Amino acid sequence: MHPLLDPKNDYVFKRLLADEPALLLALINAVRRRAPPISALEVRNPAIDPDELRGKYIVLDILAEDERGGMHNVEMQVRRLRAQSARSTYYLSKLISGQLVAGQAYERLCPAIGIHLLDYDLFRAPDHAQQALWCFEMRDADTPSVRLGEELQLNLVELRKADRLASLPPALRAWITLFEHWQEEQRMSQITDEPVRRAYDKLKTLSQDAEARRLAFVRERALHDEATLLLEAREDGLEEGRKEGLQDGRQAAMREAAANMIYRTALDDAAIAAITGLDAEIIAELRQRD
């Protein structure tokens, strides 16, 4: 029996949900709990291009259309992107602009909805410690109750923070438990939400498939390669500094590289320690500061 694959690996995430639109639909309805539920969904990009798995700076997403024509972009993000807001806005804008051809009326536009699950805390100010679910729309700055249409909406779920909070809707709580505690069989056995139970069973099946395990590893290796590139770039800068007479910066440089990996990759502490040569205690200290 092979260990379960990580559902936050974006290859695994896409295989779990793009292959079964009913599960994707359940996740969307759980996140958009205040919106009218959707009842049907068609995944527009179910296939995974092998070249995408090796792309170090991309996120495998799921694009789906509901029964009312609404377009949904669903992603699992395990590393911070420096241009997070710009990237999200750009892709939602493409979902809008791609709906019309020349001469068609704007009234034909349907909502473009982003659902991004983040395996990190994006909003870390003390005032935001008790909020993990965010819904951004076009609203008036002085009167936020007034919304300018329904064309754009971005939903963010900070998974780690949400896992620490008690007041979550049951369906969404079950999905977060899957993503954060998939390795804890006893805890997973207590889930009663049917779509999440089905997703967990599918994860078990997928984890025993040799080709799925291989491709998940290919994807994980690409993220490791990204971290290595970050380190190499930092070391190149350090070498230039040595040429200018800076002799004692390696420890500081490795700490900076490790902080970068914590910030931008999904690597665990052991992997970052192996790449940088720093003690695991230092990595843990840096992650705590992050």
pLDDT tens-digit profile, the chain (290 residues): 789 999 999 899 999 999 999 999 999 999 999 999 999 999 999 998 877 776 655 678 999 999 999 999 999 988 776 667 888 888 888 888 888 766 677 777 889 999 999 998 999 899 999 999 999 999 999 999 999 888 899 999 999 999 999 889 999 999 999 999 999 999 999 999 999 999 999 999 999 999 999 988 888 877 666 555 555 555 555 454 454 444 455 667 778 778 777 766 656 677 777 777 788 888 888 877 75
- What is the structure's pLDDT at 263? 66
Query: What's the token pair of residue 242?
Result: 């040595």
Token pair 């473009």: residue: 112
- Cα-based distances in Å from 262 to 50, 92, 201: 26, 27, 31
- What is the structure's pLDDT at 63? 94
- What is the structure's pLDDT at 247? 43
Residues in the chain: 290
**How many CB atoms are located within 10 Å of the residue 226 CB?**
19
As a whole number of angstroms, the distance between CA 63 and CA 48 comes to: 12
Contact 260, 80 (CB under 8 A): no
**Angle at 132 (CA atoms; ends 129, 134), nearest 5 degrees:** 120
As a whole number of angstroms, the distance between CA 63 and CA 114 comes to: 9
- Cα-based distances in Å from 186 to 173, 178, 223: 16, 12, 30
As a whole number of angstroms, the distance between CA 268 and CA 287 comes to: 10
